A and B are shown apart, each in its own frame.
Chain A
């Protein structure tokens, strides 16, 4: 807690609404200037987490520290945070300028200083010349920028974004994603953004917190979250994932499904499981390789069940016979060019290769 790099610390924070547990023992730290995305399905408690950080809700248990100072019972006004809401909450009867200047007016700043600062902020968010318009006359993306400018106008130490992009068109969303990230890095402001959009989280965040049913299930960089999802839930929520159920551990690094043996290099806590344990193997569709070379390990013969055209690639459902009457299906993403070259068609047979370092192992029946 005395680490000067750490700006925010949540220590075992829980929040109950009556009997409903919105947050259960959430602990994490945010470094100064870090961009953290809180990711999870709707109703998982991520917005509650943001509101507790802001001081809009008081946690039932646990503590919140800002720069080592216990702010657990301080209201939002004492935490120096800037907030951008999903709805933007722009004042409809005030112009963009007046909205941005709203928080500045109550500080002892001269009129000229306010005008100058609002000009800076309008430039900063790329709205020069739009200041006299009312929110209703601005596009969704422009409203979003005004809300952002208004939030950072008062120079908060912490910026909180609650699903800031979810109300926008896909194209505007992608553009603003980059802009918000650039702005955040330029200002070096510690930022926590709540989102249910995995792509948003992966592209913008320094670190992602994945929340499920009020619990923090994984805390890591976007690459860690994507490549080494801690639980099947994380794996399934972020990106697509094949789950091969009913696999069995033979020895360290070796598993089988029926007659098929599969080697796995990086095990994830399952290395300590006794031989014979039931596990679930997982692999991302884009990691499934097409190989005919019989010398590589983890080579499986499969049959093409269905093909879904997705423009640049095909998503192909492959069926693997385990024994009489039992089989499992693996989905593979194959570039359209490869499909054309190999002449893959439904009902044809296809040998695939599951790279040892891309397979994940989960203990069966745990956290799905």
Chain B
């Protein structure tokens, strides 16, 4: 036996030393490509947006003139206050409701936790326009509740159009995010802290303030800022139920689409961007602290039954679940009613999309096509970028820059991306020091390509972080081991990294698909007449007063997204079962 081992020392090992040196260069080149990609799709368009906000119609530099105009015109600058007010109130309500819900899911022994959590995630799959439309059917002038269920009960008028409507819609929109983040924060705790508090004689209230709150504080703060950003930048719901109450997001749209005032659109975008970026930076700081708080040897907390508490939480979660399901069922019902509220016959009249603008089923299938492309290309680019940034050991500063640029889109509202892309991709070229540099990206303008790229960038950060988290769970030495054995990194990537990360990759794909289907903010500036989109059609039909078809189209989007989510959920479960051989569970 020993002789055979010794004999094999003449294995052909020298030959691929040279190829591996080549590999290093390939890796460097790929990291460089990731940086260039992020520069072109994130940094340059943003720069173009900023420069538009300080230039006049002919492109001459005018300094802060537009900003002065903005802040000296009360009808414009009041929107900043309105936006802040609405977002702060939304955040308070949403985080409070979300906290109770997440507490019920993590710290009590109520039944049906999985079911309640799934229900609470519903709003993630709907276009936010649908939140507005459903509100109109519930609380609008001829709403179900305004009319007291068609006269059965006394009606309630809540003065929907304006801040009230926006806040309700945004609470619904931000609620799933709050629940998700708070569930994680509440789940990451050390049972021994509670045992220690109990053994030291601390009561419930004292334990809550000395153990529970401190242990979730970073997660809680992070949740607050994420909800704020979401509510502050959302466009869909305010567009439907905002009425005459101006907020920044709808102002951008009005300036650009309504008045063709691109410079002022850029100014409002910057005004929208600044609080968002500040909130984003604070959020990143606290998220990092939260990660640092997880002790490796924590003992997970298993909640003990408590009749009164569990009863209250079960009732609360059931109520919230009922409200969410009822909300979307109202939308489904309304989309099937022949003439609301007069002829309550049910049927698929509004699903014909005949006699309305927007593009009908062509738009719907365009959206599906766009979402598929976004899912496929977005997942590939995101995962590969995350891999290069996380698992390479070369070019540290470049990788750090790429990481920063990868999470930056989290702070970019869709409308800002959309407008920046108009400016960037529409430009024929730039005059730099007397030289004219033509814009190679111009060919993408008004194509499917620009829609897909805008979606990839819009949803890049969350996908990137998902990929990074999955990659971090792989042993840091996989790459080193392969390298020492002379195996090209591409082989290890294909044979080990990707198979082990398949659940996360599918997750990212679904995330891209679902969000690309539902989003309206970025694409509303970028779609062309040849490529109508479902979500844009919803906005346009609603604008034109065709609320029922708009509702029907939103319901189609919601159902498609739910079907995709459930389908992939089953697929992932199958894959996980197959992977049981090597996960050891």
Identify the A interface with B (CB < 8 A).
54, 56, 75-78, 80-83, 85, 87-89, 91-94, 102-103, 105-109, 117, 120, 123-124, 134-137, 150-157, 186-188
Contacts and interface: CB of A to CB of B under 8 A. Distances in A.
A313 B17 CA distance: 56
Given A92-B582, A135-B582, 16 more contacts: A82-B484, A89-B477, A103-B486, A106-B16, A108-B12, A109-B11, A124-B5, A134-B581, A137-B582, A137-B584, A154-B11, A155-B9, A155-B13, A156-B484, A186-B2, A188-B6
B499 A89 contact: no
B500 to A, nearest CB: 5
Question: Which interface class (under 10, 10 to 19, 20 to 34, 35 or more) fits B?
Answer: 35 or more
B498 to A, nearest CB: 10
Contacts of B16: 77, 106-107
Nearest to A89: B477
B24 A93 contact: no
Contacts of B481: 83, 85, 89, 150
Contact of A187 (B5, B482, B483, B484): B5
Interface of B is mostly: helix
Interface stretch (B200-208, B372-380, B488-496): B488-496
Contact of A56 (B1, B480, B496): B480
Nearest to A157: B9
B500 A92 contact: yes
A124 B1 contact: yes
B421 to A, nearest CB: 40
Nearest to A55: B484
Contacts of A87: 475, 477
Contact of B475 (A89, A94, A152): A89
Contacts of A154: 11, 13, 485-486
A351 B383 CA distance: 73
Contacts of B499: 93
B480 A83 contact: yes
B72 interface: no
Nearest to B20: A77
B244 interface: no
Given A134-B584, A155-B8, A187 B2 contact: yes
Interface of A is mostly: loop
A219 to B, nearest CB: 26
A106 B484 contact: no
B52 to A, nearest CB: 42
A103 B487 contact: yes
Contacts of B4: 120
A92 B20 contact: no
Given A103-B485, A108-B12, A120 B1 contact: yes
B17 A78 contact: yes
Contacts of A134: 581-582, 584
B216 to A, nearest CB: 31
B478 A91 contact: yes
Given A94-B496, A102-B487, A120 B480 contact: no
A193 to B, nearest CB: 16
Contacts of B15: 108
B480 A75 contact: no
A106 B491 contact: yes
Contacts of A107: 11-13, 16, 486
